[in-house]
Every structure is written in structure tokens, then in C-alpha cells.
Chain A
Amino acid sequence: MDILYKVLVEPFVFMGEAPDLLVQTLWEGLVSGVLYALIALGFVLIFKASGVFNFAQGIMVVFAALTLIGFYELGVPALLALLLTAGVMLLLAMAVERVVLRPLVNQPDIILFMATFGLTYLLIGLGELIFGGSPKEMITDALYLPQGVTELTILGGPVRFQHLDIAAAIIASLIIAGLAVFFSKTRIGRALRAVADSHKAALSVGISLNQIWVIVWFAAGIVALVAGIMWGARSGVSFSLQIIALKALPVLILGGFTSIPGAIIGGLVVGIGEKVGEFYWGPLVGGGIDTWLAYVIALLFLLYRPQGMFGERIIERI
């Protein structure tokens, strides 16, 4: 009885007692959810267009951030460094398409998935070789990202909103809106959707698969760059960031692998669920449950809806 009370009643009582803390927790969850969604967006882009589950998205985030800092440390002004980094990500996209995707064109999905594993390790080694293994600071000032805090009194207590987090939320929304417009209104967007539906049909109407893949990986690279800047500004850039990218997997599960709005909603659910769960239920078991809570949430969700919230229904045929 006591345990049931502790699990089912007490946390809600506590939520009511300190509503300002609840707001703070929700805000923190929202921010990390948006950041997870940014990483998941890269996955969705690539999966939508090429059916490849790009495990290397996490390391692309780190790599993009490190390249940006590397250019800046060489003396290049920040905005120019941004453009140069985008250029590097384009080169990376072309290299990946040429070396990894083209030779593996008709292989089963699992093979392509594992190829991205190899890509991950390759990029980890390359990144450490070029940039060194120690963590670096993101160049937030040079990028005109706001520092500072606003403290509002909400529901009886102080709630702190980092300006950086607000900026991250706004930038992420802009990117998502931009991508949604891109996919539905532009010619290339339509071509991407065609490729996602059927490679053969797209080829037959004259869409160059190779070009599309380069564009899609480049777009994912840009999203990775933005994610890297935002994550890096919050917690510094180092190679342990790519493990955080694993958290994008539950996001994709909840949101579906092919849906951009799904990535957002999945991200928010995971982010908020994780923070609230860790804050209110974590102390019952000694803390630290945010390492696995997201995955368990995704697992339970999958048992109910195996294709995710927005994913297409899996129809199996013999």
C-alpha cells in the first residue's frame, strides 16, 4: 500500500505543492525535447528519401560542430565559418553517397544500417584525428546567440528561462517549418517524396537518385550542424555527444520514421516524459533513471502501436 501511495499519489502531490518547479521541469523537458527532435529530424530526412536508417547522424552532429569550431579557431569569422562548415557537410554528403550508398544500392535495409555503423566509427576516428579528443566550447558569442537568463515568477516561485534555450526552440521551429514547406512546395521536395515512395518509379520519371541522395544527406548535414550548435552551446562539444544521439531512437519510434511533425511530437513526448519521470519518480529508486526511461517509454508504446504514432501501418504480405 505504502509503495502504491509513493508511486501513484505522492509525486502528483509534490507537483501541486511546487507548481513553479513543475513549470521549470516542463520547460527543461521541452527544450531537451526540441533538441532531440532536431537530431531525429536528420534521421527522418534520410530515411524518408533513401530508406536508410542513418546511425551516423549522431556523429555528424558532433563532426559538424567541431568543424565549425575548427574553422573559427583558424581565424575565420563566425558567419563565414558557418558557410564553410555547410560546404564541408556537402562534401561529406557527396562522399557518403559515392562510397557508401551507390555500391549498396539494392541491398537489404539491414546492410545499409550496418554500413552507417561503419560510417560512424570512421567519422569518430577521423574527427578525433583532426580535432583532438578533448571537449571544446561552442562559439556562442560569435554566432550572436543570446546568453543570459530571464527569471519570471510563475505560480509562486522563480522559473528561469535561458535565452539560449528560447533561441533553440525558435530556431528549431523555423527549421521544421522550413523543411515542411520545402517538402511540399518545391520541386526538389516533391522529388524527395517521390524517391521515398518508390525508387524505381522515381527513376522512371527521370529523377536522378544520386542527386537526390546527395541533397538529402546535405540537408541532414545542415540539420546536424544546427543541432550541434544548439547542443554544443548548452553542454559543450565532445564525442560523448554522439551517445546522446541514441536518444533520438525513442523519438523516432514514437513519432514514426517518416514523419517530420512526428519527430517533433515524439521529441517533446520523450523530452518532457524523461525530465518529469526523473524529477518526480527518480528519487524513489535512487535516481539516474533518465538513462533508460525514454527507451522503456518507447518500448511500451511500441507494444501498443508497432509502427509508431505517425508511421505508416506495417502491412505484411507473404
Chain B
Amino acid sequence: MSFRRVSLGIAAALLLGGTALPAAAQDSIYVPLFTYRTGPFAGSGTFIADGMHDYLEMLNQRDGGIGGVKLVIEECETGYDTKKGVECYEAVKGKKPVIVNPWSTGITLPLIPRAAVDKIPILSMAYGLSASARGDIFPWVFNPPTTYWDGMSMIIKYIGEKEGGLDKLKGKKIGFLHLDASFGKEPIPLLEELSKELGFEVKLYPVAAQDMQNQSSQWLSVRRDRPDYMIMWGWGSMNGGAIKEAVRSGYPMDKFLSVWWPGEDDARSGGAGAKGFKMLNWHGVGTSYPALQDIVKNVVDKGLSKASKDKVGELLYNRGVYNSLLIAEAIANAQKLTGKKAVTGEDVRRGMETIKLDPARLKALGLEGFTDPIALSCTDHNGHRPAFMQEWDGTKWVKISDPIEPMSDRVKAQLEAAAKDYAEKNAGWPKRTEACDKAS
């Protein structure tokens, strides 16, 4: 009982005093990473977390930070849970973070209105609210390099090409296997619009988060409907579960396409039958790039990484690297724009808006050929970059197409409608007052 009292007393004291959390020191930049190494999505989240952490740590080790200022990298475990994500956000707010990556559409949504008030930019790279690509309405939210609507239009375009033209899609059946959550349902309006326009039939197969590893019902329905193509929009253990079930029920794997989220482990879980599985991607895989080599040398070999050596360079690891690439570039830009070394959230927002990763800059960063060049602007917080299709050959990913341009005209219309809709529904959504910088 007295032990209880003592510990409760300490806890209370710490609580009230612990609010005075140490702010970032004068000459350092605080970058929190919202990660999930626990929970049903840890299968994907762990690699992303490793990639994100290792790239930034590499910059610390190799260059002493960005512009000579060290980065303070701190991971906060969210478990893909909205409650814990918002809690992480509140916990790190006091330490003056320069940018946050929620890595979950569910966590991003409550944070979007707060970003402008708290002056912390949000980077929801290729996830989150697609409408936040409109920088004029969402000045504090960024989602490069592509949105879910772009991605869906790219997949439809690819299928059209395979069939010999978009008009050949008439009468075909396309199945959409998705996580029964905001992330999975976002592309459905665009898919249905395209189906009306191009004449193909859409079949929806939702997968509840608790049934991600028990998808036999969905794949039974797939067998009944026999769609010509299957498109998957999954995350975490849903991808691996789906590929396994697809192999088990005998669905032709080369007709199975996915958005950019499955990783090597998901494909491997399907065994030999998973050969031919296709997915979108926009960056390279492997450790052949000089920057990746630097990561191995400065971080992994020094024991500063939580990743095992064979996972460095895998798809989701490099996805995390890309995320940190954007963060680092935004910070560097912010330093250039403001002349300050220890930049703040507002500065990094401007830095993010003026990002210009052209081939020369990519080469200087040691990532030549890693990804397509991208440039953001005040009104375009996304870039709408093309992504290419890659295929699983049983052991690794093989690029099988050139970068596919999205159907911008249709996506643009959807984006405008959605952004306007969001602003209207949230009465009092502030008009953008932040100034627009020219890219340097």
C-alpha cells in the first residue's frame, strides 16, 4: 500500500512537472517519427520505421546533420491506433517538431485541422487525405509524390494498355479488394466513375481490419464472380493474407495488381505461386545507390540501426528512405530560404513547398535514378508524379513498365470537388494566408 502511495506520488509529481519536457536544444532540429512496430500493421510499419530512421541518422553520422545542425530523431509508437497517434502528437508538440509523419490515414485525419493552428506541417506521403494535394486549401499538409486517385487511374490505364486500349475494357469485370477503412475506400468514387465512363463492372470486396488474415470469404466471392482483374488496396497483414488466399484459390496472379504498399515479405508469403504479382512503385529497390551504401556504412554497420542487414534496401525500407529524403530536403530548403540553421515548423513548411528534386540534385544526394524528379508548389502539394509497375518474379521485384502518367483531367476534377467539399463541411476552414515562396 505504501509502495503504491510512493509510486503514485512520484507519478503525480512527474506528471505535473513532466509537462516541462526538454525542448530541442538551440542548435538541433527535432524530427519525431510516428511508427508502429507493434500491432497488426507492424509487418509493414517496422520496415518503414527503419528506413526513415536510418536515412536521417546517416545524415547525422556522415554530414553532422543538415547544414551542420544535428537532427534529433525520436520514434513514437502509435500501433496504427488513432488514439495513440493523437497522443504522440500532443506529446511531441511541446518539443517544437519541424514536421510530423503520421503513417496512418486514420491518424492523419484528426491532425489535419490542427496543423495550421499548431504550425507543424504534416507529411502524409502518398496516403492521408487525397484532397490535401491542394496547397491553396491545405497549406500545412503535403502528400507527395502521388495520390490514391492518381494511383487508381494509373492501374486502370495499365490494364487498358494490357487489353489493347482503354475502350477494350468495356464489359470486363474488375474486382477491388480493399481494407474496410478510409484508406481503402478513398479510391472507390474514382473507380466507379471510370467504370461508368469506360463500361467495365466493378466488384467491391471489403476486408475488415480484424479479418485481414482470414480472407477466405472474400476470395470465395472472387471465385464466384471471376473478375478479369483484381486490384488490391491493403496494408499490414492484409497484403500477405490476400496473396496467400489468391494463390490458394487459384486466381491468376498476373491479373492481380496492387497499389504501392505490399512489401517483399507479403509476396514471399505466397510462396512460388506468387510469381506474377504486380504493384505500383515510384522508387528503386536495393542498396546499389550511393546514399544507401552510406546508410549501410554509417548506420547499419555501426549498429545504430534496428533493421537486420538483409532487410536494408527492401521495398518498404526504401519507402521509408524516400520519406526521410523529402524531410531532409524540406529542412535543407528551409535553411536556404530563411538563412537560419535551426529552422522551425513554419520554415520547413516553406521548404517543403519549394522542394525541387531534379536529376542533378538527386545525383548530389547519392540517389541518382532512385526516383523520378519531383517539384512542389504553393498550390500543388503533391506533384502527381507517375509511378511504374513492377512484378514479383519469385525472389525480387522487376520493373515491367515505364512510369505511367495518371489521368490528370479526371483526378483534378475529383480533387477540386473533394477539397471544396471538405472546406464547406468544416465551416470556418481558414483561407490560406501563408505567403508563396518562389522555388530557389
Contacts of B271 in A (CB 8 A): 147
Let me know if B206 and A135 touch, CB within 8 A. no
Contacts of A282 in B (CB 8 A): 217, 221
* Listed stretches B83-91, B99-107, B237-245, B381-389; interface member: B237-245
Given A24, A149, A235, A240, which contacts B220 in the complex, CB threshold below 8 Å?
A24
Check if B287 is an interface residue, CB within 8 A of chain A.
Answer: no
Let me know if A21 and B223 touch, CB within 8 A. yes
Chain A residue nearest to B218 (CB atoms) is: A287
Decide yes or no: A290 and B211 within 8 Å by CB, A235-B244, A239-B40 being known contacts.
yes
Contacts of A137 in B (CB 8 A): 269
Check if A128 is an interface residue, CB within 8 A of chain B.
Answer: yes
Check if B248 is an interface residue, CB within 8 A of chain A.
Answer: yes
Q: Kindly state the separation between the CA atoms of A128 and B207 in the bound complex, as whole angstroms.
A: 25
Chain A residue nearest to B207 (CB atoms) is: A288
Let me know if A18 and B206 touch, CB within 8 A. no
Return the CB mask of A262-304 against B: 1 if under 8 Å, else 0. Answer: 0000000000001100110011001110110000000000000
Check if A186 is an interface residue, CB within 8 A of chain B.
Answer: no
Interface residues of A in 1-54 (CB under 8 A from B): 18, 21, 24-25, 28, 32
Let me know if A279 and B205 touch, CB within 8 A. no
Chain B interface residue count, Cβ-Cβ cutoff 8 angstroms: 38
Check if A238 is an interface residue, CB within 8 A of chain B.
Answer: yes
Q: Kindly state the separation between the CA atoms of A18 and B217 in the bound complex, as whole angstroms.
A: 16
Contacts of B208 in A (CB 8 A): 288, 291
Chain A interface residue count, Cβ-Cβ cutoff 8 angstroms: 36
Check if B276 is an interface residue, CB within 8 A of chain A.
Answer: no
Return the CB mask of A232-256 against B: 1 if under 8 Å, else 0. Answer: 0001101111011000000000000
Let me know if A244 and B214 touch, CB within 8 A. yes
Q: Kindly state the separation between the CA atoms of A28 and B216 in the bound complex, as whole angstroms.
A: 8
Q: List 21 A-B contacts (CB under 8 A).
A: A21-B220, A28-B217, A132-B42, A132-B46, A133-B36, A133-B42, A134-B46, A135-B42, A135-B43, A147-B271, A235-B213, A240-B213, A275-B217, A275-B220, A278-B221, A279-B220, A282-B221, A287-B204, A288-B180, A288-B206, A290-B217
Interface of B toward A, CB cutoff 8 Å: 36-40, 42-43, 46, 180, 204-218, 220-221, 223-224, 237, 240-241, 244, 248-250, 265, 269, 271
Ranked 3 nearest A-B pairs via Cβ: A133-B42, A235-B213, A133-B38
Interface of A toward B, CB cutoff 8 Å: 18, 21, 24-25, 28, 32, 128, 132-135, 137, 147, 149, 151, 160, 162, 235-236, 238-241, 243-244, 274-275, 278-279, 282-283, 286-288, 290-291
